[in-house]
Every structure is written in structure tokens, then in C-alpha cells.
Structure 1
Amino acid sequence: MTGAASPPSAAAPGAAAAAARARRRGALLRLLLLAAGLAAAGLVLRELGAAPGTEWVDRHVRGQGVLGEAVFLAVGAVAAAVGVPRQGVAFLGGYAFGAVRGSGLALVAQLLGCALSFYWARLVGRDWAERRLAGRFGRRLRPLRDVLAGSPFGATLAIRLLPVGNNLALNLLAGMAGIAALPYFAGSAIGYVPQTVVFALLGKGVRVDGLWQVALSAALLAASIALGLRLLRRHRAAQAFEEAGPG
């Protein structure tokens, strides 16, 4: 017979690739909208005499010395642990403390949040994760878990540099699946740096009307996205992360 439909096995790879491209475009759009939204909100609120990130930042963090830093670290860590975008934490770090110190404090807050969600999942949900990874749900997540287990530092670094994905989802998966903690945190720390610096620069530029900081943050964001997309094409961990689609 002629004109028979293509078998499902032949169509499946194309459909999976199209779905992956759609997830990638959606994630990139969310990241760009986050950057634009933070900058626009900050500029508007500054013109109105208010502080981006609410008046709370000016009242309890800026100009408060060590106490303000401690408050920022505590609140930023909890925010990152429960799924608030880490870029927002970096933005407020730059707004409150400047690009250099804000980047450093935001990075510490992000790592504390990473550890909180990682160890919460390890202590509470590890058995649950192993059961899910053994069943139908594991068909998507098991490859990512296996890549992380085989190379916890390199795979985590590649994933953290990506402009796609979900920070909280990865922390929960790594904790529940028993990924080695120290290399996972080390890869996260280095992988967090580019976007942390980008968004801290953006926050600093908004506060002081520094157009060059805003322009530099935009250029660095473009470079970070280009690096992430290159890794997405070349690194097995990045491919597994996108195929799993946790965020």
C-alpha cells in the first residue's frame, strides 16, 4: 500500500525536538522579560521616589551595615529556597549594595537557598524521589539524575550556565536523588556567577541612573545566553536537563 502514515517511532524524535525548542524559546522569553521588567519597574519607581523591590529594602537593608547584610542574606536565602528567581535576589543585591558587594552577597544568598532546598529534599523526599524515578515519571528525570550522579560538578556547572530551566526543581531533584553535595554546590556557585553579576549590575544601574551599568548588564546577559545555548547543544547534561523539562 502507498501513502501510509509514518510510524510513531519516526515522528517521535521530531516532535520531541520541536517541544524542546518551544521550551527553550519560552524560557529565554521569561528570562528577558524578567530583566526588562525589573529594570522598567526600578526606573518607574525611582522616578516616583520609591524604591525598586519595595520600600522594605531601603528601610531594612540599605545603610544598615552588617545588620542589613545579614537581613538580606537571610531573606534572600529563604526566597531562593522557595523558588523566587535567583536573578531577582541578585537585582536587589546590586540595588542595595552596589555591583561588586551586591553580587557577592547575592551569590551567598543563592547558595544558602540552594543548600536549604537541596537538604530539605534529601531529608524529607529522597525515598519518594527514588520511587518516582523507578516508575513512569522517571523516564524523563532518570537520564538527568544519572548525568548529575556521574559528573556532579561538571554537569551542574553546565546546567547553571544555561538560560533555561528551573533552579528550585534542579535543587529538589539533586537532593532527592542523592547527588554528591560538595561538587553540586561548587558547580552551582561557579555557574551562578554570570547571571548574578548581570542582574546586580542592572540593580545598581537602576538605583544610580547608571546607563552604562544597564547597557553592560544587557551585553553580559546576551553573552551569558549565547554561552548557555552553546552548552545546550554540546553538553550531555544540558541536553538531559532540557529533555527532562523540570522548569
Structure 2
Amino acid sequence: MYQKICSLFASKGLQKGLLFLLVCAILGSLISTLPLFDTFNRQWVDSTIRNNGVLGVGYFMMFSAGAMAIGCPRQVMAFLGGYAFGFMQGTLLSVAGALIGCILCFFISRFLFRPFIKRRYAQRILRVNDFLKDKPMTKTIVIRLLPAGNNLLTNILAGVTDVKARHFLTGSAIGYIPQMAIFALMGKGIVVLSIWKIGLSVLLFCISTALSVRLYKQYKHSKLIQSTAASAVSESVRA
């Protein structure tokens, strides 16, 4: 058990994720407490986003979807969503924004830039296609649960694979939720200066990472067993 915990914390993905959480917490605390940022963080957010009704939600949705479509980390948008709208609404809006950005990248890649992307990322596309060809929705969820990874590149590469759009997009929408909820909770915790909300978000992040890494390793191990078995059958047939 101890060794498993040590190996988890030795994971580069978890280390990067925890560092990202720490950076968000520090920046959020500075923005919330320093007079220098008072006009921006309270008056601007209140007037433009939080208390601006449907228009404020629209502004956030357009900004978050556009930002994530060009590569902004989805965790940043979830943090801002929690900061502006609170935990529940911030989570839902940031997930919706991430999904819109994912849809844009996926279909632009599939219908406009397919030949160029296939030439540029041929080997990566083969690996992604090989991973997603069985149980694509479940495996997409696993990919989205991982703390590390390039969200933009994943969307682009998936767009030129054989995976069906409904499987990839549904899996993405479900897989986005845990991390978006964690970072929205962190954003809400910063607003109200709640230590327990911040601490809970870190704990949930560690649990989510542990589960996602375990699932990913299980799928890779299963794939290796299937490949070995297929090779053995092929050799026996030739013999």
C-alpha cells in the first residue's frame, strides 16, 4: 500500500497537476486579497460576469470555449468558472465550454485539415487510433481523467482517427466532469477563503489521479495481453 502511494506521488502527471493547483491557489489568493486587484476581481467580475444574467453566462461560455479550442488548459477555465459562478454552476459552465471547444477542434480537424494532420502526426494518430478502437467512449473517459496531457492535441488527433464522433464527444463530456469540478471547487474556495474547500479539492484531485492512472494501466495491460495472445495464435498457425 505504501509503495503504491509512493509510486503515485512519483507520477509526473500528478506532480504537474498538484503544481498547477498550487499556482491557481496562489494567484487566486493574490487576486482576492491584494488591493491592487480589487477593482478587477470584484467589480469587473460582478458587473461583467456574475451579476450580468444570461449575458454574463454567454460571455463566459464564448471566452472559455474559444480559449480551450486554441489550447488553454481546461482546468484554468474551471477555476475561473468556480471563482465567478460558484461550484455547481461553474462546473457545469466550464464543462459545457470545454465540450464546445472539443467539438470545434474535432470537426475542424476531421473535415478541414485531415490531410495535413495525417502527414504531420502519422505515428501519434496510429497510437491514438489503436487505443480508441475498442470501447472508444470508455477509453476517452480514461484519457480525460488523466491529469497530464494536451487537450488540444487530443481533440485534433481524435478528429482524424476512425473513432465515431458521438463516442468521443460523449466520453469527453463525462471525463471532463471530475477535474472541472475539482478546479471549480478550488476557485470557489479562493473566493470565500475556505481552507477546507481548497484542501478537499487537492484530496479529490489525488483520488481522481490515482483512479485514472490505474484505469489507464489496466487498459494498457489488457491490450498487451491481447497482442501477445494474437501473436502466439499466429505463430501456432504458421507452425
Q: TM-score, normalised by structure 1?
A: 0.79
* Cα distance change on mapping 1:116 and 1:149 into 2, 3 Å: same
Q: Do the aligned residues in 1 keep the contact of 2:129 with 2:162 (CA within 8 Å)?
A: no
From 23, 31, 51, the equivalent of 2:17 is 31
From the two aligned structures, give the one with the greater helix fraction.
Answer: 2
**Which residue is equivalent to 1:99?**
87
Deviation, 1:100, is 0.6
For the Cα contact (< 8 Å) 2:110–2:160, is it kept in 1?
A: yes
The secondary structure found in structure 2 opposite 1:165 is coil
Deviation at 1:113, TM superposition (A): 0.7
Mark the runs of 5 or more structure 1 residues left unpaired by the alignment. Answer: 1-20, 241-247
3-state secondary structure, aligned to 1:61: helix
Aligned to 1:18: none
Give aligned pairs, total.
Answer: 214
Residues 118 and 125 in structure 2, CA contact (< 8 A), matched pair in contact too: no
Is the aligned partner of 1:164 residue 2:122? no
- Asked if the contact 1:162/1:231 (under 8 Å) is kept, the reply is no
- Give the counterpart letter for 1:201 in structure 2: L
The aligned residue for residue 62 of structure 1 is 50
Shift of the alpha carbon at 1:125?
1.5
Alpha-carbon distance, 1:143 to partner:
2.4
Aligned pairs (5 A) from 1:1-247: 25-49=11-35, 50=37, 57-132=45-120, 138-236=122-220
Cα distance in 2 between the residues matched to 1:238 and 1:111: 29
TM-score by length of 2: 0.81
Deviations 1:109-144 (A, max 9, x none): 110011111111112221223345xxxx53444122
Aligned counterparts of 1:76 and 1:116: Cα–Cα separation in 2: 13
| Matched position secondary structure for 1:164 | coil
SS in structure 1 opposite 2:50?
coil
- Give me the whole-angstrom Cα distance separating, in 1, the residues matched to 2:221 and 2:56: 38
**What letter is aligned with 2:132?**
L
Q: Following the alignment from structure 2 to structure 1, what is the Cα–Cα distance between the partners of residues 195 and 56?
A: 26
Residues 208/175 of structure 1: CA separation in 2 closer, same or farther (3 Å cut): same
Aligned-residue CA RMSD (Å): 2.6
**Between the two proteins, what is the percent identity of the paired residues?**
40
